[in-house]
Chain A
């Protein structure tokens, strides 16, 4: 869809950098900052000092920044070489997880100082810094030992790779909305589960899935811990199931119905919305961007598929489509069972701040539920990676009580780093608590 009103998206960055700390590693991270970039704690204002009025970014000194203790990150004005030196230190086993240029966003009303920009600025030009940090191994396969997972008799490879199989959390008490083609409401794997459903397709009363895609995605996000037959494939087996049918049995849907489904899920206080849908459109949409932001303010995190428009084997890397390209929506890329980027998984090649892939999930040869009589099916796509992230988001929501932007941060900061470009997998492979 071409917006009538041109969107004022900018590819500029502010000259500031977002430095994200490992969980509980703030003091070590500050030591690293001092060592690598000469930034001392006295040059960092604490977000708590601004109280309810929120942080006024205009008050940040020319060299220095703001420490957001609750978020485990800092926004710092520093020269690129200094940022590069910090980026060299960053990594999975470091106190600093990542250093990324802060993007300039178009006007969104700021509430309470810290808005999405400081969480979601992560999206873009990190690539440059990342490649600097990687040096030499920038392109092609790195000599990382590929962890190969495979489906077992009791588990899908995806549940193992994301450590869902080891988690004691089930998403109990957490509502998860899947906006898709619906669910096979008679599927035995959902028998006895409380299901709230609604159709947003004109003329269609039931959220019954006559296509398959929605049943597969719902199965991954919310399927049972112990299916009556076959291996476990579902993440948040204890979560409450909300099914919004926003795509017809022909697999199509209009923005209006999708937005209405989001509105419904927010009204029902679902902390997670899983949207394995998108259009191959490079521009962002104010409606989705704003809806995502208002969702976060209301405590709802929206997770969406990055898109399947890449053909990497032919040198085509695609782009992140709409609505996943919204800054306020978490975009999910797909990995295979050797944790390689899937051939089809879209890369952030647009390089607009905020439009990148945020995180990755299992998305190749994914076993899940399918409408009867077929019962189960194995398919691939960023659509399959997305509900892994949404389901795992429910586990984090249960485990920590985090909602909205805090939940976003939890998912991102706990992802497993991999030696793959940030433009492909964001912060890495989603991990269960």
Chain B
């Protein structure tokens, strides 16, 4: 019996400048490693999506990928806080 795979991680993939016009090709290469696209952002050359945690290093090795980072989040103070 093998344990179930870990949950997919939400990641942000940043493309190298030289590959900005090849986003569809890079998306295909990312998908070959199980990456699921949530959003392609052509203006900033960033692709958001989900992937198995252990696949991140393989994504990083795809030519044209500048960085693979876990997607973070921000949280404002409650609206009745004095400091916002």
A-side residues, CB < 8 A to B, are: 1-5, 7, 109, 111, 181, 211-213, 216, 247, 251-256, 258-260, 262-264, 266-267, 276-279, 281, 285-287, 290-291, 294-295, 298, 308, 322, 344, 379-381, 383-384
Contacts and interface: CB of A to CB of B under 8 A. Distances in A.
Interface residues of B, number: 37
Interface of B: 10-12, 14, 16-18, 38-39, 41-46, 48, 56-57, 60, 66-79, 81-84
Contacts of A383: 76, 84
A392 B53 CA distance: 43
A407 to B, nearest CB: 18
Nearest to A364: B83
A285 B46 CA distance: 12
B67 A212 contact: no
A82 to B, nearest CB: 36
A3 B84 contact: no
Contact of B84 (A216, A252, A258): A216
Given A5-B60, A216-B84, A287 B46 contact: yes
A234 B15 CA distance: 38
Given A5-B67, A247-B76, A281-B72, A379 B44 contact: no
A8 B40 CA distance: 25
B67 A260 contact: no
24 contacts: A1-B69, A4-B11, A5-B60, A109-B17, A211-B76, A212-B79, A213-B76, A255-B73, A259-B44, A262-B41, A262-B43, A262-B44, A263-B42, A263-B44, A281-B72, A287-B12, A287-B46, A287-B69, A290-B46, A294-B43, A294-B45, A344-B83, A383-B76, A383-B84
B41 A290 contact: no
Given A181-B76, A212-B79, A291-B46, A5 B41 contact: no
Contacts of B69: 1, 3-5, 285-287
Contact of A254 (B10, B41, B82): B10
Contact of B70 (A2, A211, A279): A2
Given A4-B70, A279-B72, A344-B83, 13 more contacts: A1-B73, A4-B57, A253-B73, A256-B71, A260-B39, A260-B48, A285-B69, A287-B69, A290-B14, A290-B66, A295-B44, A322-B72, A383-B84
